Chains A and B, each alone.
Chain A
Amino acid sequence: MSAPSASAATHDAGHSGEAHGHEESKYQIYVQIAMLLAVITGLEIVAVYLPFAKWLLITALVIMSIVKFMFVIFYFMHLRWDKPFCTILFFIGLVLAGGTALALIALFAAEASVPLPSL
């Protein structure tokens, strides 16, 4: 059983006290982040109807998605407060996934690999 025990944590009083400081302010942080995410989602929806260059809008949408993504994993998923190993572990999967996606898209962009139009 790996669940943290109360007695073990009591020995580490300084660390625990610091953690409780975070706990107190988490409620406000979560609500503020949720509001921010809702606003960014609204901006994304508005952005697609703006008469700007396509590359600019795609860049803006990608950046806004990344911002939302990072806020969720670092705050809602506690990576900000957890051991860095959790972040490393997740980012290994994320980098492999992103690399696979980019490689597949680049591979199928080659002329010889374009999907058959008759499909």
Chain B
Amino acid sequence: MSSHAGTIDHHHDPSTSTGIPNKKLLMWAFLASDCMFFATLISTHLIYRLHPPAGGLDPKKIFSIELTSFSTFILLMSSLMMALAVTAIQKNNVKSCRWSLLTTIFFGMIFLGCQVYEFEHFVHEKKMTLSNSMLGTTFYTLTGTHGCHVAIGVLWLSLMYVRSFKPAQPDPQRRRWFSRNLLHALVLVAALLLSLKVTLALVHAIQVEPTFGSALSHFVRGDFIYLVGMLLSFGGLVWFARPAGPVDFNERHAVDVEGMGLYWHFVDIVWIVIFTVVYLLEYLK
């Protein structure tokens, strides 16, 4: 696909009365409403932190600032890659857009992996569950809702990535194209879930075993099948991504990628607030 600069003005649309593409306007209206949704969750958490019930858990003994800082950094970098994906498709550079989308998906999965690990650690090691303390209730509800937003974002990114392979020529056997891309999407989702499972299983093995060698044999004994599945799904992704003629994905679809990007950046700014309010403020003496 060519990478020449396009001729579309992506910030103004003369065909609408507002001069803004309707899809973009819809996304901004949705994000404005989502602000209120998260504001209520964040303020509920803050209220119970300002007035903690007697005998409650101490967040400083539960939270891991290192892990949270790492996942915050990852989410910031994913925002950068998302912004680059939008710029790439605005310049009609489909290949660069695909790579940026894949990197954003990768960073999103790392963030989700950190959150799954964090929740698992808090429940099993720190004994903080959704129902045994007010801190657990407000914390899991708030960060879990944010995590759901990230998961939806990853799914949307994955579908957009698969969408970028739609052939440009009208397909007489339309069903074949549809089933091929449905399979492509399924393989991508399977690859993401299996990668998450394999990474978490490897981290768990390293934690429970004294040496790296024994951890590796522990991992191979218990989770080898997932590793095989992951490698097979990666192979499938490479096969699906092979060049197959011109595609119906170009500068004209930039507004779709931009709408998705707005959602992804919103997830990032919500985390900027959560990171400060929920985590950092607890460490003040």
Contacts and interface: CB of A to CB of B under 8 A. Distances in A.
Interface of A: 2-6, 8-10, 12, 15-16, 19-20, 23, 26-27, 30-31, 33-34, 37-38, 41, 44-45, 47-49, 51, 54, 57-58, 61-62, 64-65, 68-69, 72-73, 75-78, 81-83, 85-86, 89-90, 92-94, 96-98, 100-101, 104-105, 108-109, 114-119
Contacts of A90: 28, 31-32, 35
Nearest to A17: B9
Interface stretch (B151-159, B182-190, B277-285): B277-285
A82 B11 CA distance: 5
Nearest to B5: A20
Interface string B192-220: 00000000000000000000000000000
A45 B262 CA distance: 27
B15 A5 contact: yes
Interface string B170-183: 00000000000000
B53 A119 contact: yes
Contacts of A45: 65, 69, 280
Contact of A100 (B43, B84, B275): B43
Interface residues of B, number: 76
28 contacts: A3-B252, A4-B8, A4-B9, A4-B15, A8-B14, A9-B9, A9-B14, A15-B9, A34-B76, A37-B76, A41-B72, A41-B275, A54-B285, A64-B276, A65-B273, A65-B276, A76-B82, A76-B261, A81-B11, A83-B11, A85-B19, A86-B25, A93-B31, A97-B39, A100-B39, A101-B42, A115-B48, A117-B53
Contacts of B31: 90, 93
Which 8 interchain pairs have the tightest Cβ spacing?
A93-B32, A97-B39, A2-B22, A34-B80, A97-B35, A101-B43, A48-B283, A93-B35
B134 interface: yes
